[in-house]
Amino acid sequence: MNSPPRTAFIYTADYARFDYGPNHPLRNVRLRLTHDLIRAHGLLDLPTTCVVESRPAGLDEMLAFHDRGYLETLRQVDGGEAGGDLFRYGLGTADNPIFPGVYAWSALVAGASLQAMELVATGRADVAFSIAGGLHHAHRAKASGFCYVDDPAVIIAHLVDRGLRVAYVDIDVHHGDGVQWAFYDTDRALTISLHESGLSLFPGTGFVEEAGKGKGQGFSVNVPLAPDTDDEIFTWAFDQVVPPVLAAFAPDILVTQLGADTHRTDPLANLSLTTRGFAHAVRAFRAMGRPWIALGGGGYDVANVPRAWTLAWAIMNGLEPPPGVPEAYREACRPLGLRADGLLDEPQPAPGPAKETAWAFARDQVARVRRLIFPHHGLAE
């Protein structure tokens, strides 16, 4: 990509209509703030960029991955009233509440990610970013971890149906379990997830030994990391595994989940990255030079998510992160009582003993990945 990439930003102000509830950690205002910060930096006005209004997915489109009974039940509770056989579907819990428009919200997110997929699969964009997407925990017939419709799994299923080879890389702090299990037995979709170990974090899976089955053996890759993992350790583990495996797999399309909850200030998890470590991964995805569908994901420090995703959007457009904080964005943050920092954090290495423990864990896990996964891809251990 020597000429500037053609990029598409998938968004609608309608995201703000939906609310998981006052005590829920997932706050949709982060999407509007991301849009506001990107726009305030002038990064939606580039000659090679288009903004596409999100449209809802039809139920039939979501059937590419999901169970019909599950989707119909979700649609029945769209009014916000609990009812029917919800427990078996993981619905109506504290994590996955039935709020007004829960189906409309889920269909809108899936539709946005399908638009990103369409633009990239047809070559109309080199990169498309669906910031509301990346809801990677939902299962075929079960809501989980704030996710009702698994938009990454839906779009990958569509791409695989078209005969394409898809690589999915998930850098959210939580294991991308829903996507992993969706493609566990196929070699058409490679899934790679780097995350805080399931020993200390939801959903409690994502161990190296979950490597795929049958034809899929070696095509499910997990890199668990210990609490206090910082930029240096994350960057090392990422570079050891992701670029070589991606290069060997040679996907037609790259799908990435860019959860921003690895950040050291995130209240739900224990990794210790800054936006520098996050940006390293995004730069590596861009350097792949493949058609690229980028999705959002977790991120519960509302002040940080817009910074991380604005940084990502700049990199997708082949630009260096713009310095400073635009005044219009400061004003958007003020009524919410949010900090408005520049995009790149100062380096924040983890302190001595904690870092040694995290290093030892990462080295051990990476060695296991190399032993268990690399031979399936013709790579030396």
Q: Using CB under 5 A as the criterion, which residues of the chain lie in contact with Zn ion when the complex forms? A: 172, 174, 259, 261, 298
* CB-CB contact of 147 with 178 (8 Å): yes
Strands of 166-170's sheet, edge to edge? 49-53, 7-11, 127-130, 292-295, 253-257, 166-170, 189-196, 220-225
The Cα–Cα gap between 198 and 320 comes to 34
The Cα–Cα gap between 269 and 195 comes to 10
**Nearest to Zn ion by Cβ — which residue?**
298
Least distance (Å) from Zn ion to the CB of residue 198?
13
Q: Which is nearer to Zn ion, 95 or 239 (CB)?
A: 95
Q: Which is nearer to Zn ion, 8 or 147 (CB)?
A: 147
Least distance (Å) from Zn ion to the CB of residue 281?
14
Q: Which of 35, 41, 137, 174 is catalytic?
A: 137
Q: Which is nearer to Zn ion, 206 or 218 (CB)?
A: 206
Told to judge if 376 belongs to the known catalytic residues of this protein, a careful annotator would answer no
Calculate the CA 379 to chain-centre distance: 27
Element holding 259 (H helix, E strand) = none
Tokens representing 179 are: 């996507």
Least distance (Å) from Zn ion to the CB of residue 168?
15
Spatial CB neighbours of 127, under 8 Å, sequence gap ≥ 6: 5, 6, 7, 8, 120, 286, 291, 292, 293, 294, 316, 317
User: Rounded to a whole number, what is the largest CA-CA distance in the chain?
Assistant: 55
Least distance (Å) from Zn ion to the CB of residue 85?
28
Q: Which is nearer to Zn ion, 205 or 217 (CB)?
A: 205
The residues annotated with a catalytic role in the active site are 137
